[in-house]
């Protein structure tokens, strides 16, 4: 017997065998069991998510000789013939190859006649969006007033191209992309039955490459079995797909976080020996940047199946939020333009170097502060100065202002990054003595607080003060005079000064008077 590909061999024969799509299946099952059947159904979704499979199972449910139900027997002649694709009353049409109006009219010529063998005559039209405008017009009348023995099952990957008049006459169901865990679980079950040796890492790679399509996953699995000589292992699958180990993506991100251009180019040079998929590498980089951004907002929401989850959490602490957002945006644009580069490796290198060239100002200043080269930057107190300031008693009249100023200086001297810096910037110093500091955190930023970050902040403070201190952070409704609020107030003051300077400038006034011009205050920006 000739070999049958996995995508056909493991095609679901009933609703219970479907993977995912519960929101669609539940509606169809209830309609079948309660005899609330519509005359036209439209199934939409990307390739390989089960549109035509659902339609065929639905057709089987309608024509099973045991009766209309969501559980066709699978044994009667009607069920067997539908599974084998030779049931006379199930007319499957590929609209991509039959777009002309003559084809549609020929198809509908026999609509008025009763089914030959089944209970219903079912028209399954795949890629229905490919029909011409005249073909839709020919179909429309039948869709509007179909005979009671006819059901239309339409499938498309692009419902936007369907006329509104057709959409309004169909019950529409959108099939979603399948999640990576769902695909991995199905492949594991399948390979156990097929007695094929595999490992979890290989299946995750295949599921990620399938991009939500079970059919693509099964086709890639077929290819992987052939490539691996009857076994599916991560090393062979990675070579087959042209993907690289996730640790290399993390290395690139660490070099970006450190502003190390030489390390970036060395990593790309090393990876080039593996002949990687450069576009896929950039896509992996973007996926990790997304997880880092999630970790900076809600660490517990980071994907548990991520290979380098701990590294992502560490990078979230080391990188500023605006830095991550900028890298992601540059990467998105770079992926779009990568195919226009003279060569893909050079295009990737330019994207990475562009990320370094257009760093946020705060990140650039922080990196320069770590170099022994004098630069124009905000003066950071020395450890001795900070220690003296921290120990100095506050006067009664300025007790609120002095701790706030001390705390802002300490935050700058600790040179924190990422979420840890955001936590410190949104805290205010409530009280302190020789070895105990009490901070208050604005309730609107309480998601930044965790036991681990409080411990890391305490450790950084001890290093700057050169003494052991204990830090407690209390969440309260509103924390006043935090470093973040001070920065915002200073920015607002600079903006107001800039507006006043422009409005009082004699040249601007002359232009307004001479040309009857209007000055838009919202377009004025202060220059730091």
Of residues 410, 484, 414, the one with CA closest to residue 445: 484
Cα 257 from Cα 264, distance rounded (Å): 11
In sequence order, the 6+-apart residues with CB closer than 8 A to the CB of 29 are: 15, 70
Question: Is 50 exceeded by the pLDDT of residue 375?
Answer: no
Residue 353 C-alpha from the chain's centroid: 24
Cα 237 from Cα 210, distance rounded (Å): 13
Q: What is the CATH number of the domain that holds 402?
A: 3.30.300.150
* 322 and 396 fall within a common domain: no
Higher-scoring residue by pLDDT: 522, 55: 55
* 221 and 356 fall within a common domain: no
Question: Is 60 exceeded by the pLDDT of residue 98?
Answer: yes
End position of a domain, from candidates 330, 365, 400: 365
Does the residue 376 lie in any domain? no
What mean pLDDT do residues 278-301 have?
A: 87
What mean pLDDT do residues 100-106 have?
A: 78
Does the residue 378 lie in any domain? no
End position of a domain, from candidates 174, 202, 227: 174
From the number of C-beta atoms within 10 Å of its C-beta (0-12, 13-18, 19+), residue 262 rates as exposed
In sequence order, the 6+-apart residues with CB closer than 8 A to the CB of 41 are: 55, 58, 151, 152, 153, 154, 170, 171, 173
Does the residue 464 lie in any domain? yes
* 33 and 135 fall within a common domain: yes
φ/ψ of 380, rounded to 5, equals -100, 130
* 166 and 301 fall within a common domain: no
pLDDT by residue (tens digit) across 173-208? 999 999 888 999 999 999 999 999 998 888 988 998
Sign of the Cα torsion 423, 425, 426, 431 reads positive
Maximum Cα–Cα distance across the chain: 99
- Give the β-pairing of 197-198 and 436-442: unpaired
**Cα separation values, 246 from 61, 188, 205, 277, 498, Å:** 45, 22, 11, 13, 48
Does the residue 528 lie in any domain? no
pLDDT by residue (tens digit) across 295-317? 888 877 777 767 778 888 888 88
Q: What is the CATH number of the domain that holds 185?
A: 1.10.8.60
**Cα separation values, 478 from 149, 426, 448, 453, 488, Å:** 68, 10, 15, 20, 16
Does the residue 167 lie in any domain? yes
pLDDT by residue (tens digit) across 18-50? 988 899 999 999 999 888 899 999 999 988 999
* 141 and 14 fall within a common domain: yes
* 270 and 346 fall within a common domain: yes
Q: What is the CATH number of the domain that holds 325?
A: 1.20.272.10
The DSSP-derived string for 36-105 is: ---SEEEEE-STTSSHHHHHHHHHHHHH-TT-SSSS--S-SHHHHHHHTT--TTEEEEETTT--SHHHHH
DSSP state of 432: E
* 261 and 354 fall within a common domain: yes
Of residues 219, 217, 230, the one with CA closest to residue 187: 217
- At 379 the pLDDT is 46
| CB 422, CB 399: distance < 8 Å | no
In sequence order, the 6+-apart residues with CB closer than 8 A to the CB of 391 are: 434
pLDDT-derived band at 402 (thresholds 50, 70, 90) equals very low
Classified as helix, coil or strand, 245 is coil
Classified as helix, coil or strand, 221 is helix
Number of Cβ within 10 Å of residue 51's Cβ equals 27
Does the residue 34 lie in any domain? yes
* 271 and 397 fall within a common domain: no
Q: What is the CATH number of the domain that holds 13?
A: 3.40.50.300
Cα 289 from Cα 32, distance rounded (Å): 45
* 51 and 70 fall within a common domain: yes
φ/ψ of 92, rounded to 5, equals -95, 130
| CB 350, CB 341: distance < 8 Å | yes
Does the residue 227 lie in any domain? yes
Higher-scoring residue by pLDDT: 404, 336: 336
Question: Is the pTM above the cut of 0.75?
Answer: no
* 136 and 188 fall within a common domain: no
pLDDT by residue (tens digit) across 239-274? 888 777 788 889 999 999 888 889 999 999 988 887
Cα 44 from Cα 93, distance rounded (Å): 16
Question: Is 60 exceeded by the pLDDT of residue 413?
Answer: yes
* 97 and 170 fall within a common domain: yes
Question: Is 60 exceeded by the pLDDT of residue 140?
Answer: yes
Q: Structural domain tally of the chain?
A: 5
What string of H, E and C letters represents the secondary structure of 438-507? EEEEEHHHHHHCCHHHHHHHHHHHHHHHCCCCEEEEEEECCCCCCHHHHHHHHHHHHHHHHHHHHHHCHH
**Residue 186, domain extent:** 180-241
End position of a domain, from candidates 226, 241, 256: 241
Name the helix (H) or strand (E) containing 171.
strand 171-174
**Cα separation values, 228 from 77, 220, 223, 232, 280, Å:** 40, 12, 9, 6, 22
**Cα separation values, 490 from 65, 159, 390, 427, 439, Å:** 79, 52, 23, 17, 22
pLDDT-derived band at 131 (thresholds 50, 70, 90) equals confident
Does the residue 287 lie in any domain? yes
* 501 and 459 fall within a common domain: no
């Amino acid at each position: 017997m000739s070999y049958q590909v996995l995508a056909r061999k493991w095609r679901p024969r009933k609703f219970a065998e479907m993977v995912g799509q519960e929101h669609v299946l539940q509606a169809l099952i209830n309609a079948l069991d309660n005899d609330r059947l519509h005359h036209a159904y439209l199934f939409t979704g990307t390739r390989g998510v089960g549109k035509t499979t659902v339609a065929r199972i639905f057709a089987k449910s309608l024509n099973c000789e045991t009766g209309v139900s969501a559980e066709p027997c699978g044994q009667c002649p009607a069920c067997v013939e539908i599974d084998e694709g030779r049931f006379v009353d199930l007319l499957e049409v590929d609209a991509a190859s039959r777009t002309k109006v003559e084809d549609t009219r020929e198809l509908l010529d026999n609509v008025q006649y009763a089914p030959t063998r089944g209970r219903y005559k079912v028209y399954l039209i795949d890629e229905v969006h490919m029909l011409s405008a005249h073909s839709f017009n020919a179909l429309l009348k039948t869709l509007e007033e179909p005979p009671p023995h006819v059901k239309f099952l339409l499938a498309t990957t692009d419902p936007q191209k369907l006329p509104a008049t057709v959409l309004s006459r169909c019950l529409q169901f959108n099939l979603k992309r399948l999640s990576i865990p769902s695909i991995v679980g199905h492949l594991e079950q399948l390979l156990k039955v097929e007695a094929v040796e595999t490992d979890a890492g290989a299946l995750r790679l295949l599921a990620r490459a399938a991009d939500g399509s079970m059919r693509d996953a099964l086709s890639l699995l077929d290819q992987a079995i052939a490539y691996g000589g009857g076994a599916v292992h991560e090393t062979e699958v990675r070579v087959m797909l042209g993907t690289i180990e996730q640790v290399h993506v993390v290395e690139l991100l660490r070099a970006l976080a450190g502003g190390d251009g030489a390390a970036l180019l060395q990593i790309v040079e090393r990876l080039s020996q593996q002949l990687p998929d450069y576009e896929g590498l950039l896509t992996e980089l973007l996926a990790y940047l997304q997880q880092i951004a999630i970790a900076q907002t809600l660490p517990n929401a980071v994907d548990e199946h991520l290979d380098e989850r701990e590294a992502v959490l560490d990078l979230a602490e080391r990188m500023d939020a605006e830095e991550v957002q900028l890298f992601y945006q540059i990467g998105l644009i770079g992926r779009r333009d990568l195919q226009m580069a003279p060569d893909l490796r050079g295009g990737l290198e330019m994207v990475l170097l562009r990320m370094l060239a257009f760093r946020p100002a705060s990140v650039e200043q922080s990196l320069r502060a770590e170099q022994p080269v004098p630069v124009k930057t905000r003066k950071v107190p020395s450890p001795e100065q900070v220690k003296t300031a921290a120990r100095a008693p506050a006067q009664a009249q300025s007790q609120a202002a002095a701790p706030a100023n001390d705390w802002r200086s300490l935050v700058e001297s600790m040179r924190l990054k990422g979420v840890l810096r955001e936590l410190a910037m949104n805290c205010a110093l409530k009280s302190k003595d020789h070895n105990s500091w009490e901070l208050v955190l604005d309730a609107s930023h309480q998601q930044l607080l965790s036991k681990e970050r409080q411990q890391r902040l305490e450790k950084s403070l001890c290093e700057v003060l050169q003494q052991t201190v204990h830090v407690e952070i209390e969440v309260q409704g509103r924390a006043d005079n935090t470093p973040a609020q001070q920065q915002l107030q200073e920015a607002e003051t600079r903006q107001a000064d800039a507006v006043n300077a422009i409005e009082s400038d004699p040249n601007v006034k002359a232009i307004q008077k001479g040309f009857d011009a209007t000055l838009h205050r919202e377009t004025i920006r202060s220059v730091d």
